[in-house]
Structures are given as structure tokens and as C-alpha cells.
Chains A and B, each alone.
Chain A
Amino acid sequence: MKLPPFDYFAPSTVDEALDLLAEHGDDASVLAGGQSLIPLLALRLARPAVVIDINGLDELSGVTQTNGHVTIGALTREYVAEESKAVADGVPLLAGALPYIGHEAIRSRGTVGGSLAHADPAAELPAVARALDAELVVRSRTGERVVAAADWFDGYLTTARQPEELLVEARFPVAPASTGTAFEEVARRHGDFAIVGLAASLTLHGGAITDARLAFAGASDVPVRAVDAERLLAGQSPSDRLFDAAAQQAADDLDPPADLHGSAAYRKKVAATLVRRALRAAAARANREGGGS
């Protein structure tokens, strides 16, 4: 059989899942959409003693909008978030990134929480979470804690989640007025992991940039913010020259990996192009939202 043997548990409540995690900790893998874990099992790169299938935890599914945040239950399927009006209206950057995830059949099963917990540095949702300073809520038998996206991604496929904790929801701040966003990526074919991807958000006020956010996927072992480029943009009026300078700054600050899909130098070049492209698109959208006047 393709997958290695494991003990299988399918809890029907979050409390049951937390009990299982408390008991098995590091020996357990949480199975959500399975679009990353099952391949890891099939290739036997992962051999957990225990698999805790959380697909029966209906309480972890769904999108809600509460005081300034769109909250997405960890088990919400990516296609559900993609079709959500609350996401489209409140978190356009997330709405723009979702269609880039894998393919239709992947988004049928893949979950928002699964992608954030798996933390593939080339994946779309981690970059969006970083760009927007999303908050991740994890729960264990001893309580709940909220982790800022900046503190969530520890390294390649590694997060701040402790073995006995379960990611239960992600909170994305609603975009302020006069904000334009863009998600751009370059991949070998639509749906593949990004060679480089970029989540960008610009907020304009009176014709000037009051908030700029740029987060790369595929450019490091974690999603990374282009902090210096963001600083360079803040307070300025949008222009092609400004965007060129930001693109240069962002690319200069990157130390991307090299692999068979692209050298480090190629990734830097792609990164600069994506910054230019995304900033122009985001600025145009922010202007349409009324930020240019």
C-alpha cells in the first residue's frame, strides 16, 4: 500500500481532537484537506504514528465577519473561501490569492487552516497572512492563544503551533477604505507552486500612500515582508518611478533560494517585476476606491 501505516482517529468534536493531540503530540499529524499531508505520506516523507482526521469538526468551517476582521474557520475549504462574499468584500487580497492555489480539484478539499499550518513558503495563503498581519488562533486543552502572522512562520514547513495545539481559525483584518490590492505570481503552469509570488496592498489618502504592504512567497524559507520597500513607498504619491525604486529595493533585500525552477538571480528579477506589476494594479484599484482624491 502506498501510504505508511498509522493509527487513524476521526474525532467529532474539537475537544476530542484536543484530547488526542494532548495524548499523541509530536507523534500525530493533523489531517485537514490532505492536499499536502497525503502526498507527504505517499512519498513517505512523513510517517506519523497517528493521524487525526479533523474533517468531521464542522464547528471549524465557515467565514464570519466581526468587528474589523473576517474570520475563517481552519477547516473552511479553499473553494468556499473563494466563493465567499465576506472574503471578496472585506479581504480582497485574500480573494485575489485563492484562485492561484493549486487547481480546482485541490481547492475542493484544501483548507485555509491547512495551508497556514503546513506553511509551505511558496504557498499563497502564508504570504497573504503576512502581508495583512493576520492573526492565527490555536487551541489546546489548556486554553487558546492568538499568534500574529509575524510570529507564526518559524521556518520551512514550521510554525509556532505546539504539538498539542490545533489551529482553529485565522482572522484577516478588513481592508481599510481606499485600499487596492493585488496578488501576482509566476509559476511554471497555472496552479503550480509559485517560483515567486507577491501579495501587495496599498492604502491611499489624499493621493498619497498611507500604508504599503508587500509579502513574497517562494523567496525564502518563510513568507517575507519587503520592509524597506514598504518604508520607501509610505508617504509618497504613486508613480512608476516610485514603484521602480520599490521594486529595486525589494529585490535587493531578497536572498532567494535556487532550485531547478529558477536561480536566485532569476527569482530576484521576477520579484522586481512582480512588485512593479502588483503596485500598479493595487494603486489603480485604490484610486477606484476613492483614495486618489
Chain B
Amino acid sequence: MEISLNVNGAQRSASTEPRKTLADFLRDDLELTGTHVGCEHGVCGACTVILDGRAVRSCLLLAVQAAGSEVTTIEGLALDGEMNPLQQSLWDSHSFQCGFCTPGFVMQATAFLADHPDAGEQEIREALSGNICRCTGYQSIIDGVLRGAERMRQS
């Protein structure tokens, strides 16, 4: 099937089989490999992207279902090649280690902070509870998101 969707502000069209997930479509067909696939059945959160303003797991969505939608991936966050305030805060807090889970956490945190700019630590922990990190023990990620929220409120 031929589908057309907006990805990171650009209109993209491609042909896909109905059984292809959005995650595979983004990576294989649009060559946006920033979206990572971990468990590929909705448990780890690494493939989280923003679809029409909501965080979703791109492995639990068929690419054909995203036709006509707006998708934001990790590649769509930087501003003129510079990290955005949330990304910079995660960097400053040494939030991540190996980086595999990073795109999922960043997209989930981005969607959550857009709706809850004043969120505190407990709410952030809960919002990120669907994302698995095997390196950090999470504290550094929470610190980074808290710092990011503060920076976003100031800017």
C-alpha cells in the first residue's frame, strides 16, 4: 500500500506492506534509524515516537495506520542542529549510558512534559515507567528530565 504521512515536518510517501510496523517503516523505508527497536512487542518503550501529539509505541502500530498523521521521531527534536533544552539537560545530567533506550525515553518525556510542564519527580517516574533502561538505574534519567522541565519552564 502507498502511504503518505508527515514525519518531523516533512511530507513523506512510501509503499509498505500492511504488516510492517511503523517502527520498521521509519527505520527501513525512511532511514530514520534513531527510533530503536528493542522488544518489538510493546514492553520496552525504546521505539516510542510522538503521533499526532501523543506518545505511542511505534512497534505496536502498523505503518499504514499512521497514514495522514504527523509523526515526530528523535531526529525531529534538535533545533537548528543544537540540542533542545530537554536534550541538553539529559546530556548535562549524564542521564544515559549505552544509549539504546535513549530515543524512547526522550520522546516519552517530550510528550509528557508538553502536557505536564509542572510535573514533579513522582509524576515523571510514573510517566517513564513504561520505558526500560538496563544501564542507569533510572535516577540519572529522572534527574535529567526534572532539569529539562525546569529549563523548559524558564525558556
Q: Which among A51, A103, A109 is the interface contact of B129 at CB below 8 angstroms?
A: A103
Q: Are A43 and B41 interface neighbours, CB within 8 A?
A: yes
B17 CB contacts on chain A under 8 angstroms:
1, 5
Partner of B42, one of A6, A38, A55, A79: A38
* B residues at A contact (CB < 8 Å): 1, 17-21, 24, 40-42, 45, 48, 51, 54-57, 59-62, 64-65, 108, 111-112, 126-127, 129-131
Distance between Cα atoms of A105 and B22 in the complex (Å): 14
Candidates B48, B51, B61, B130; contact of A102 at CB < 8 Å:
B130
Cα A38 to Cα B55 in complex, Å, equals 17
Contact with B along A176-201 (1 / 0, CB 8 A): 00000000000001110000000000
Q: Which residues of B contact A190 (CB under 8 A)?
A: 126, 129
B62 proximity list for chain A (CB < 8 A): 8, 31, 34, 38, 53
Kindly provide the distance from the CB of A58 to the nearest chain B CB, expressed in whole angstroms.
Answer: 13
Contact status B20-A1, CB under 8 Å: yes
Nearest-Cβ distance from residue A272 to partner chain B, whole angstroms: 26
Complex CA distance for A35 and B64, rounded to whole angstroms = 16
List chain A positions with a Cβ less than 8 A from chain B: 1-6, 8, 10, 31, 34-35, 38-39, 41-43, 51, 53, 55, 79, 102-106, 108-109, 189-191
Instruction: Considering the complex, give the chain B residue whose CB is closest to the CB of A189.
Output: B129
Measured CB to CB, the nearest residue on chain A to B48 is: A105
Q: Residue of A at shortest CB range from B64?
A: A8
Q: How many angstroms between the C-alpha atoms of A112 and B80 in the bound complex?
A: 41
Option from B1, B42, B65 in Cβ contact (under 8 Å) with A39: B42
Q: Which residue of B lies closest to A40 (CB)?
A: B41
A108 to B108, CA, bound (A): 11
The CA-CA distance from A60 to B57 in the complex, in Å, is: 23
Q: Given the interface contacts A3-B19, A6-B18, A38-B41, does A108 sit within 8 Å of B129 by beta carbon?
A: no
Taking A2-B24, A53-B65, A190-B126 as contacts, is the C-beta distance between A105 and B57 under 8 angstroms? Answer: yes
Most buried by B among A5, A6, A103: A103
Q: CB-nearest residue of chain A relative to B18?
A: A8
Docked complex Cα distance between A103 and B132 (Å): 12
**B45 partner residues in chain A, CB cutoff 8 A:** 103, 105
Q: A2-B24, A6-B19, A106-B42 are in contact. Are A39 and B60 (CB under 8 A)?
A: yes
Q: A38-B42, A105-B130 are in contact. Are A4 and B65 (CB under 8 A)?
A: no
**With contact pairs A34-B62, A105-B48 given, residues A191 and B130 touching in the complex (Cβ less than 8 Å):** yes
Query: Inside 8 A of B18's CB, which chain A residues have their CB?
Result: 6, 8, 51
Residue of A nearest to B126 (CB): A190
Given A38-B41, A39-B41, A104-B112, verify A10-B129 contact (CB < 8 Å): no
A205 to B41 Cα, complex, angstroms: 48
Q: Which residue of A lies closest to B43 (CB)?
A: A39
Q: Which B residues are CB-close (under 8 A) to A104?
A: 55, 108, 111-112, 127, 130
Shortest CB-to-CB span from B110 to chain A, Å, is 12
What B residues does A1 contact at CB under 8 A? 17, 19-20, 24
What's the minimum C-beta distance from A27 to chain B, rounded to whole angstroms? 16
Q: Is the CB of A105 within 8 A of B41?
A: no
Q: Distance in Å from the Cβ of B50 to the closest Cβ of chain A?
A: 9
Q: How far in angstroms is the closest Cβ of chain B from A99?
A: 8
Question: Which of A6, A31, A42, A79 lies in contact with B40, CB distance below 8 A?
Answer: A42
Query: How close is B15's CB to chain A, nearest CB, in angstroms?
Result: 14
Q: Is the CB of B21 within 8 A of A2?
A: yes
B21 and A38 form a contact (CB under 8 A): yes
A104 and B129 alpha carbons, distance in the complex (Å):
9
**Cα of A190 to Cα of B127 in the assembled complex, Å:** 10
Contact, CB under 8 Å: A35 / B60: yes
Give CA–CA (A157, B24) in the complex, Å: 28
